[in-house]
Structure 1
Amino acid sequence: MSLLTVRNLNVNFAQRQQPIEALLDINFSIEPGERLAIVGESGAGKSLLGAAITQLLPKPGYIASGSVTLRGKELTQLSPKQWQEVRGQRIAMIFQDLMMTLNPVLSIGAQMVEAIRSHTRIGYKDARKMAIEKLAQVRIASPSQRFEQYPHELSGGMRQRVIIAIVLLLRPELIIADEPTTALDVTIQAEILQLLKEVCESHGVALIFISHDFGVVARISERTLVMYAGKIVEQGATLEIINDPQHPYTQGLLNALPQMALPGQRLNQITGNMPSPSERPSGCAFHPRCRYATERCSQEIPSFINTDVSIAACILLEELVSHEEEPDV
């Protein structure tokens, strides 16, 4: 049985006249211990999907239809009290804004002990010992000293390590990390990615890693979902997608990486902008920005095509497959 399964998930935002469709027909699953990336530009719906899974949608967002199950248990029907037992203990979140995640007026130790004692009956002495052990496990030097310090006294990389330590305290089955390394410099970013990967492997924890950067995703994920305008447009093994992207949008994201341009050369940006959910184009939402677009792309919603590399929703791929299947005359 898959750890997490999302089926036909649709998320809307309530409006006076007509609801705005933010996420459309999202389908995927993640196995125990698997590392899955969700990639796309700002506004693609990546963070919204993470919020929908954990029932943390901003108002007036709501799940209009679909199913989210954790080991077969439906999550969309849980009460707020039942969610208290799921969040943290079974599904943990790591956010991009480190100072918003950590309480600035409480010491690191106080926050870690509170996390432990809110879900268990462990006494303070044992909780303190457990917290210091976790700080050491995420390679924080002088963990007893850091236990007494406040978030503002730590560097960004150190705060991110503390957050990973807090997440591990409750032994979750799944971690959802929403662009957790964006604010860090390249060297610290690489260290945190490696740490997160090692933690997931050693504890058998599954990971959903949300990012806009394929360069980051390549370092940590086994499988990738590419999102555009609230929909999944391609999914498959990360390295195969990077080596041979099938959807034109995925190709554009990879071509836009800095390493794809020569020194002094302008980056290969995708022309145009991500459409807002209220102004999603007809047909394939990417067609106004796609260099391969035809008239058919503006009229028809593409179906998923299973290629040798990945599953992608593109009319161009449909035409290629149908052409290959035509009998020789």
Structure 2
Amino acid sequence: MALLEVRDLDVRFALRQGEVRALRDVNFTLDRGERLGIVGESGAGKSVVAFSLLNLIARPGHIAGGSIRFDGQELTGLGERGLRRIRGNRISMIFQDPLMTLNPVLSIGEQMVECLKAHRRISRREARTVALHKLQQVQIPSPATRLDQYPHELSGGMRQRVIIAIALLLDPDIIIADEPTTALDVTIQAEIMALLRELCEKHNVGLILITHDLGVVSQVTQRMLVMYAGRVIEQGPTREIINDPQHPYTQGLMNALPQMATPGSHLNQIRGSMPSLSQLPPGCAFHPRCDFMHRADGSARHACAERVPDFVASGNCRVACHMVAEMLALDARPAEEEAR
């Protein structure tokens, strides 16, 4: 049984102009110690997935349907007291901006001690010893000194290491990292991601990495989900998707990488922009921007513009695309004819 199992997750926001579906039919699993990446443009629904797992969706948002099972326990109907035993304790979260996460008027040590005391019966001296050990684990220099410093006294990379140390304080089963290196320079990004991967491997901790950086996903994760307009459109082993993306949106993301452009020429880009969730086009939400659709014949165009595509298996991946389904069907015909 998977450690985390998400089935048909549906998240909605009640707005004045009507109800908006931020997530629809999201399905995935995470095994113990597995590293999963979730990628997509801003507005695709990546962070909403992360907040849904811990039921941190703020009003007017709510989980309208689906199931989130963690270690056999259903989380969607769990009360606040039950969720408090899960949050931070068994599932930890690393947010984008450490300055927004850390309390500016408390020292690093005070914050780590309070976190431990909120979840465990432990003395302040014991809690401080645990905090010091976690800072050592994340390779912060002079950890005893850092315990008595305040967030503003640390660099961005140091603050992010502190956040990772806090996430590890209670030895969680899963860490959710929501764009953990957005505000850092490239060198520090690489160090933080290498550290996060090493810690997850060493302690058999599951990782859900939310990012728009395909390079980071390819280096850190084993499986990945590609999201568009609140829906998963492709999922499978990271290496397979990176090396041979099937969905035209995933292909567009890969082609938009700087290294994919000819030196001296304009960068490749996907036409148009992500649609508003309150005004999604009918059929496949990506079809107005899809190069495949613009080259397709009449029947294929009608399918893309009228019906939401189902998932089809392509190798070890699953893809929600009418074009891919059509190509797979054509490839299967000669084999079926030979079998006859």
Question: What TM-score does the superposition give when structure 1 sets the normalisation length?
Answer: 0.98
Which residue is 1:244 aligned to?
A: 244
Which residue is 1:323 aligned to?
A: 330
Which residue is 1:61 aligned to?
A: 61
Matched ranges for 1:277-288 at <5 A: 277-288=277-288
1:11 maps to a residue whose letter is V
**Quick check: 1:244–1:309 contact (8 Å CA) kept in 2?**
no
Which residue is 1:9 aligned to?
A: 9
* Matches of 1:75 and 1:297, distance apart in 2: 35
* Matches of 1:319 and 1:140, distance apart in 2: 53
2:326 maps to a residue whose letter is E
Which residue is 1:303 aligned to?
A: 310
Which residue is 2:191 aligned to?
A: 191
2:159 maps to a residue whose letter is R
**Quick check: 1:226–1:232 contact (8 Å CA) kept in 2?**
yes
Which residue is 2:22 aligned to?
A: 22
1:323 maps to a residue whose letter is L
Task: Say which SS state the counterpart of residue 292 (structure 1) adopts.
Answer: helix
What's the CA shift string for 1:49-82, capped at 9, x where partnerless? 1111110112211111110000110000111111
* Matches of 2:316 and 2:5, distance apart in 1: 22
1:6 CA displacement: 0.4
Which residue is 1:162 aligned to?
A: 162
What's the CA shift string for 1:122-146, capped at 9, x where partnerless? 1111111111111111100000111
1:106 CA displacement: 0.5
Task: Say which SS state the counterpart of residue 15 (structure 2) adopts.
Answer: coil
Which residue is 2:258 aligned to?
A: 258
Matched ranges for 1:55-204 at <5 A: 55-204=55-204
Choose from 296, 304, 314 the match for 2:321.
Answer: 314
* Matches of 2:328 and 2:253, distance apart in 1: 24
What's the CA shift string for 1:195-236, capped at 9, x where partnerless? 000010111100000001101111110000000000000000
1:266 CA displacement: 1.6
2:128 maps to a residue whose letter is R
* Matches of 2:104 and 2:262, distance apart in 1: 43
1:17 CA displacement: 6.0
**Quick check: 1:224–1:236 contact (8 Å CA) kept in 2?**
yes
* Matches of 2:182 and 2:126, distance apart in 1: 34
* Matches of 2:15 and 2:166, distance apart in 1: 38
2:232 maps to a residue whose letter is I
Task: Say which SS state the counterpart of residue 24 (structure 2) adopts.
Answer: strand
* Matches of 1:271 and 1:189, distance apart in 2: 29
**Quick check: 1:92–1:172 contact (8 Å CA) kept in 2?**
yes
What's the CA shift string for 1:253-288, capped at 9, x where partnerless? 111111212333221111100011101111000000
Q: Any stretches of 5+ residues in structure 2 without a counterpart?
A: 294-300
* Matches of 2:258 and 2:329, distance apart in 1: 36
**Quick check: 1:20–1:278 contact (8 Å CA) kept in 2?**
yes
1:94 CA displacement: 0.4
1:179 maps to a residue whose letter is E
**Quick check: 1:36–1:221 contact (8 Å CA) kept in 2?**
yes
**Quick check: 1:3–1:29 contact (8 Å CA) kept in 2?**
yes
Q: Give the share of equivalent positions with the same residue, in percent.
A: 58
1:176 CA displacement: 0.6
1:309 CA displacement: 4.4
1:105 CA displacement: 0.6
* Matches of 2:216 and 2:259, distance apart in 1: 13
1:322 CA displacement: 1.9
* Matches of 1:264 and 1:114, distance apart in 2: 54
**Quick check: 1:40–1:228 contact (8 Å CA) kept in 2?**
yes
What's the CA shift string for 1:1-41, capped at 9, x where partnerless? 10100001111111356421111111111000000000000
* Matches of 1:165 and 1:11, distance apart in 2: 31
* Matches of 1:74 and 1:160, distance apart in 2: 31
Task: Say which SS state the counterpart of residue 14 (structure 1) adopts.
Answer: strand
* Matches of 1:263 and 1:156, distance apart in 2: 32
Task: Say which SS state the counterpart of residue 63 (structure 2) adopts.
Answer: strand
Number of corresponding residues? 329
- Extract structure 1 runs of 4+ deviating beyond 6 A: none
